[in-house]
Amino acid sequence: MNLRLPSKVLEHIISFIDSNEDRNSVSLVCKSWFETERKTRKRVFVGNCYAITPAAVARRFPEMRSLTLKGKPHFADYNLVPDGWGGYAWPWIEAMAKKSPSLEEIRLKRMVVTDECLELIAASFKDFKVLVLTSCEGFSTDGIAAIAATCRNLRVLELRECIVEDLGGDWLSYFPETSTSLVSLDFSCLDSEVKLSDLERLVSRSPDLKSLKLNPAVTVDGLESLLRRAPQLTELGTGSFSAELKPEAFSKLSEAFTNCKQLKCLSGLWDVLPEYLPALYSVCPGLTSLNLSYATVRMPDLVELLRRCSKLQKLWVMDLIEDKGLETVASCCKELRELRVFPSVPDLDATNVALTEQGLVFVSQGCPKLESVLYFCVQFTNAALITIARNRPNIKCFRLCVIEPFAPDYKTNEPLDKGFKAIAERCKYLQRLSVSGLLTDKAFKYIAKHAKKVRMLSVAFAGDSDLMLHHLLSGCESLKKLEIRDCPFGDTALLENASKLETMRSLWLSSCFVSFGACKLLSQKMPRLNVEVIDEHPPETRPESSPVERIYIYRTVAGPRLDMPEFVWTIHKNPEIGVSHLAIK
Amino acid sequence: MSESVAAEHDYIGLSEFPTMEATMSDITKNEDGLNFKATELRLGLPGSESPERVDQRFLSIKSSCPVSGAKRVFSDAINGSNKWVFSSGSTTATGDVGSGSGPGSSAVKDGKSTTFTKPAVPVKEQKSSATAPASKAQVVGWPPIRSFRKNTMASSQSLKQGNNSEIEEAEAKSGPEQPCLYVKVSMEGAPYLRKIDLKTYKSYLELSSALEKMFSCFTIGQFGSHGGCGRDGLNESRLTDLLRGSEYVVTYEDKDSDWMLVGDVPWEMFLCSCKKLRIMKSSEAIGLAPRVMEKCRSRN
C-alpha cells in the first residue's frame, strides 16, 4: 500500500520539528521528505565550516533565517592551532549575501571574521537581527560600528571572548538615535572605555533590553547608573570594581541591585572587591546563573554570597572556593545543574589553595540535578571518581582536568582507569567527556565499551599504545568529535579504523606518533575525508615513517579546502599530485 | 630570579614507559614524599624540533587569506597568553632524559612582560633561549585554559602589581605601541565611519588617494566584491572625478573645532591640528559653519 502524505500536510507536520538532529533524520526517509524538510528548515547549523560549501547550504535551505557555523578545531582554544590556519567567515557571508538575503541571524564560533565581513552583513541583510561571535578574531570595532549603524532591527549583538582590534569606544555611538530594538548587548571582551553617557542613552532608549554585559572599563558608578535605567534586566555582566570602596557608591549600588527584581544571570565581576559583594545579596535569591570565575575573592566571602543563592543552577567559580566552599554549595544550591571550577592564578595568594577532589564529591552528593562538570584540580583519586559516578549517574558532561600530567591516584598510586570506568559505566547519558591523569590503555577499553552516548571526547597525556586509539575508534558508538594530544600511539589503530572517521565530524591528533605515510594512505583510502597535516616543514622532505606534528581529519562533501596556509598540507586523492597546500592546481 | 627551565619528557617507546616512570620518580620526589611525574614534556620525537619552537614560527607567519583578505590575526594577544605559567608543586628534572633529545628545550615563547612567576624549585638551568621570565617552561596549551581567560588573568595580575601596570596591560592586549594618529573619516551618505592613521600618509596626495579607495564603494551606491572597493578602475576614476570635481570636498575639524578645507595648510601643520575628517558634498560645505556640520552628522 503506497501511502503518501500530501506535501502541504507533510510540510505542516515537519514545521513542528525544531531539533536539527530530528530534521536530519527526517530528510533521510525518502526524496519527498528530503525536499519538504529542506524547504522548511529555518535554522541551519554547520558544525564544521569546511564540511560543506556555502553555496550548497544556501541552495539546500532556501528559507534559512538563522545560520550557525563553527570554524577552528576546539583545541584552537588552547593555542594548538597556529594563526592563519583558516576558518574564514568571508566565503559564507559573501555567498549568503547573494543567495540568502533574508538571513536574520548569524552565529559564528572560532572563526576569522573581518571588518569587511561585518560591513557586508550590515549592507546585505535587510532584516538582520542577531549577531553572536564566540571566540572569533580578525575584526575591529569599526566593523561593530557598521553593524550598529546599519542594522535597524538589530536585537542581539554579542561578542563573547573575541579578540577585537579595539580602536576606541566610539562604536557605541553608532546605534540609531531613535529607540532601538536591542534585547541583548555583550561587549565584555572589548578593552576601550565607552562613553558612559552614550551607554546611558542607549540603555534608556532600548526598552526591550534584557541582557547587558559590560566590559571591564565600566566602573561601579557607571554600573549603578545603568542599572537604574534598566531595572528590567534579566542578565547582567558587570564592569570592574577595582576602585576603592566608597560607602556612598556602595549604598547606591545596593539600591540599584535591589530594584533589579528580574535578574537571573550575573557575570563579569572582574576583580571584585569582597567589600562590594553584599551589594549583590538582594539579587542572590533569584539568581539561576552566577559566573564568579574572574572574581578573585576568598572562600569566606564566596560562601556568604553563595549560601543565599538557593535557586542557582549554574555556577562558574575559581578554585579559591576550596572544598569548604563547595560543601556550602552542596548544601545550599540544591538546584545546581552545572559547575565549573577554574584554576586561579598560582601565586595569587601565599597559601596553598585548598581545593581537592573532595570538593567535587561534596557537590555530587548534595546536588541531585548536577549534570555538567568542568573541574580543574591538581590531583585526584579513583575513589572520588567512583563516588561521584555513584552519586550522579545523571551526569551528561564530565570534564576533569587533573593539572599534573600523568598524575596517578595520589593515594594509591594507581592509574585512574577504575575511576573513569565508573564514570563511563554509570553515567549512561554522558555526552561529553574529558579525561586526564595517569591512564592506561584499559581506561579506553572501558570508555569505548560503556560510554555509548559520548559524542565528544578529549584526551591528553594518556594511554600506552595503539590499543587506546583502537578501543576508542572501534567502540564509542556515538562519537562525533575526538581530540587527542600527546599520546603514544602510531599508525595501526588509525588505519584499521579508518571507516569510523566518516561517521565522525572530526579527529584531532597532535604530538602523537602518526606518520606521514599513514596520513597519505588514509587520505587516499577515504575520499570523503580531508586529511590535513599541520607541519611547518613539507612532510615530503622527511621519511614517510617520521611522525607529523598535528593532524586534523574531518569528513566533508566539499573536497579539500582552498584556503590552506603554507603550513597546512593535504594529501591529494590523486597520488600523482602528491602533497601540497594547494588543494587543486 | 626566575629561571627558564626546559621540560623534557621523552617518548622513547611504549615498553620503556614504566622504565621512564621509575627514572622520573627517583628524581622527582617532592616534599611530601609523593611521587610526581615530572611535568617534563617534550612534544615530538627525539631529534625533531619541539613544536613549541615551531609554534613560534607559526605564530610569526602572517598569512592572509587569499579569499577574504583577512587582516592579520592578532597573534600578539595570543602570544601573550602562553606565559600563563601553571606550576604545580613538583620539581622538574632537567638535562636530557633519554637519548637524542637534541635541542628540544622548550622555552616559553616571547618576552612580553606580563608574566607572574612563582619561585621555582631550584633546578638546573637549561641552555634554552631564556627570553621569557617564566619560572617554568610550559607545554603549549596545558592546562587547557582558553586564551581569553589567560589574558584576562594576566592583565589583572599586572594591575595588582601596581606602577606601570596599566601600561603593561595595554601593551599586553593591544600589541606593540606606536604613536599613531587615528582620526575618524565620515562621508556624507555613507552609513558608517572609517578610522585611519594619518601617520601612515606622507602627503595630501597619499591621503586623498587612500580616501578615494576607501569610499569609492559608497558613491557608486553598492558594495563591490570583496576588496573590490577601488580596485575596479571605473569606480576609482569616477570617485576621483567626483572628489576633484565639484561634487565632493574633503574637510576636517581642527583643534579649535572649526571645520576647514583639507589642503590649505602645510601637511605637518595639518597632522598636528586635524581631529577628524569628513567628505561632504560641496553644496553642504559652503560656509563651513559648525551648525551646518551638526545637521549633516545627525542626518546620517
pLDDT by position in tens, chain B (length 300): 443 433 333 333 333 333 333 333 343 343 344 434 444 444 434 444 333 333 333 333 323 333 333 333 333 333 333 333 333 333 333 333 333 333 333 333 333 333 323 333 332 333 333 333 333 446 788 889 998 888 888 777 665 554 343 444 444 444 343 456 778 788 877 766 677 888 888 888 888 888 877 776 555 433 333 333 333 333 444 444 555 555 678 888 888 878 888 888 888 888 888 888 888 877 776 665 444 344 445 444
Nearest to B153 by CA among A318, A274, A21: A318
Chain B hits for A89, Cβ within 8 Å: 68
Cα A479 to Cα B25: distance, rounded to the nearest angstrom: 36
| Residue A536: pLDDT band with limits 50, 70, 90 | confident
Quick: pLDDT tens for A131-184.
Answer: 999 999 999 999 999 999 999 999 999 999 999 999 988 999 999 999 899 999
Task: Please tell me if residue B143 touches chain A, with a CB cutoff of 8 Å.
Answer: yes
HSE at residue A539, side-chain half, CA atoms within 13 A, is 28
Cα B105 to Cα A556: distance, rounded to the nearest angstrom: 38
**Residue bearing cell 626566575:** B2
CB atoms within 10 A of CB A170: 18
Chain B hits for A413, Cβ within 8 Å: 35
Model pLDDT, residue B90: 34
Nearest to A139 by CA among B225, B69, B224, B178: B69
Which residues numbered 164-193 in B keep a CB inside 8 Å of some CB on A? 170, 173-174, 182, 184, 191-193
Q: What does the mean pLDDT of chain A come to?
A: 93
Quick: pLDDT tens for A395-451.
Answer: 999 999 998 889 999 999 999 999 999 999 999 999 999 999 999 999 999 999 999
CB atoms within 10 A of CB A173: 18
Whether the CB-CB separation of A346 and A360 falls below 8 Å is answered with: no
Residue B144's φ and ψ, nearest 5 degrees, are -70, 85
Q: Kindly state the average pLDDT of the residues A314-337.
A: 97
Cα B233 to Cα A357: distance, rounded to the nearest angstrom: 67
Chain B hits for A116, Cβ within 8 Å: 68-69, 226-227
- pLDDT-above-70 percentage for chain A: 95
Task: Please tell me if residue A142 touches chain B, with a CB cutoff of 8 Å.
Answer: yes
CB contact under 8 A, B73 and A294: no
Model pLDDT, residue A352: 59
Cα B237 to Cα A478: distance, rounded to the nearest angstrom: 59
Opening angle at CA B242, ends B240 and B243, nearest 5: 65
Quick: pLDDT tens for A195-230.
Answer: 999 999 999 999 999 999 999 999 999 999 999 999
Cα A28 to Cα B108: distance, rounded to the nearest angstrom: 50
Q: Kindly state the average pLDDT of the residues A258-275.
A: 94
CB contact under 8 A, A80 and B140: yes
- pLDDT-above-90 percentage for chain A: 84
The complex's ipTM? 0.88
Whether the CB-CB separation of B87 and A317 falls below 8 Å is answered with: no
Whether the CB-CB separation of B2 and B133 falls below 8 Å is answered with: yes
Task: Please tell me if residue B152 touches chain A, with a CB cutoff of 8 Å.
Answer: yes
DSSP output for A152-207: TT--EEEEES-EEE---GGGGGGS-SS----SEEE-TT--SPPPHHHHHHHHHT-T
Residue in B55, B78, B90 closest to A404 by CB? B90
Which residues numbered 88-127 in A keep a CB inside 8 Å of some CB on B? 88-91, 94, 112, 114-117, 119-120, 122-124
Whether the CB-CB separation of B207 and B183 falls below 8 Å is answered with: no
Task: Please tell me if residue A539 touches chain B, with a CB cutoff of 8 Å.
Answer: no
Cα A381 to Cα A375: distance, rounded to the nearest angstrom: 14
Task: Please tell me if residue A193 touches chain B, with a CB cutoff of 8 Å.
Answer: no
Cα A58 to Cα A64: distance, rounded to the nearest angstrom: 8
Model pLDDT, residue A246: 83
* Cβ-proximal residues to B176 (8 Å cutoff; 6+ apart), any chain: B76
Nearest to A299 by CA among A316, A320, A281: A320
Whether the CB-CB separation of B41 and A62 falls below 8 Å is answered with: no
Chain A hits for B297, Cβ within 8 Å: none
Chain A hits for B74, Cβ within 8 Å: 137-138, 163, 165
Closest CA of chain B from A259, distance in Å:
30
Cα A334 to Cα A348: distance, rounded to the nearest angstrom: 30
Model pLDDT, residue A579: 63
Q: Is the pLDDT score of A553 beyond 90? A: yes
CB pairs under 8 A between A and B: 221
Local structure of A58: helix, strand or coil: helix
Length of chain B: 300
Per DSSP, helices labelled H in A367-502 are 382-391, 417-426, 441-450, 466-474, 492-496, 498-501
| Residue A327: pLDDT band with limits 50, 70, 90 | very high
CB contact under 8 A, B192 and A145: yes
DSSP 8-class letter at B109: P
Quick: pLDDT tens for A330-356.
Answer: 999 999 999 999 998 643 333 356 899
